[in-house]
Structure 1
């Protein structure tokens, strides 16, 4: 039997269940350092199963933005404007979502496998010009940094507004 790791966020209305499989984690929208934004940024999407009144209510993908400092030393977790994992949650529910993101970045071997596969794919990519090589090297550095995140590296910058 193959037991899967899962995490549950209990909200007022439903349970949001994250099953730790590579297919339920996506990393996208990588943004590079520029003069207006002295950091690197990307989005992590998590596919969640929704259970309402003890019945399957559908799936949804919720996102979180990860911002990495220019020196690659600090990671900041930010709330995206759309499809945020923190949306429509009270303080306790937001804390449960923070715990899930923290687990993902620090402890999840599945997340590290997703990142490692991205690194391997990027290394095999046929790059044509110097600009592509430079972008690939930066992306590699940021992705490699994700393989060694500790508790002290992460700072959460979430709007803690109580919706209830």
Structure 2
């Protein structure tokens, strides 16, 4: 038998169930380090099954952003403007979401596999000029750092995107 890791967030209206499978996780490089922005941003999408009144209510992808500085000392989780994983949740429900995010970033084997695949894709990417090479190399290094996130070593806070 193959048991799947899943996490359930009970809200006032429904149960949101995240099943830890590669197909239920999406990672996008959203913002890369620039002169006026001293951090890197990634958007993470998690797909949830929704159950209302013990009936299947469909699936929905919800997002959160992660931002970290060059030295990887500050990891900030932020709410995107649309499809936020924190939307319409009270404080207790937001705490459950925070626990889920910590799990995904630090323990999920499928998240780590997704990041590893992205790193491998960057290693095999054809680059033409030195500027592209530096950019691809820097992205690869930052993704590799995501593989080693340990929550006790990183400042974790939730904020609206600034």
- What interval of TM-score do these two structures reach, taking the shorter chain for normalisation? over 0.9
Q: Distance in 1 between matches of 2:121 and 2:61?
A: 24
Find the residue that maps to 1:158 and give its secondary structure. strand
Give 1:109 shift. 1.2
Match runs of 1:62-141 below 5 Å = 62-141=62-141
Match runs of 1:1-164 below 5 Å = 1-152=1-152, 153-158=154-159
Give 1:137 shift. 1.1
Give 1:158 shift. 3.3
Q: Matched residue pairs, number?
A: 159
Q: Distance in 2 between matches of 1:151 and 1:45?
A: 19
Runs of 4+ aligned structure 1 residues displaced above 6 Å come to none
Find the residue that maps to 1:149 and give its secondary structure. coil
Q: 1:50 to 1:154 in 2, by over 3 A?
A: farther
Gaps of 5+ in 2: none
Preserved contact between residue 119 and residue 143 of structure 1 (Cα < 8 Å): yes
Q: Distance in 1 between matches of 2:87 and 2:126?
A: 39
Q: Distance in 2 between matches of 1:63 and 1:99?
A: 15
Find the residue that maps to 1:36 and give its secondary structure. coil
TM-score, scaled relative to structure 2: 0.94
TM-score, scaled relative to structure 1: 0.93
Preserved contact between residue 68 and residue 142 of structure 1 (Cα < 8 Å): no
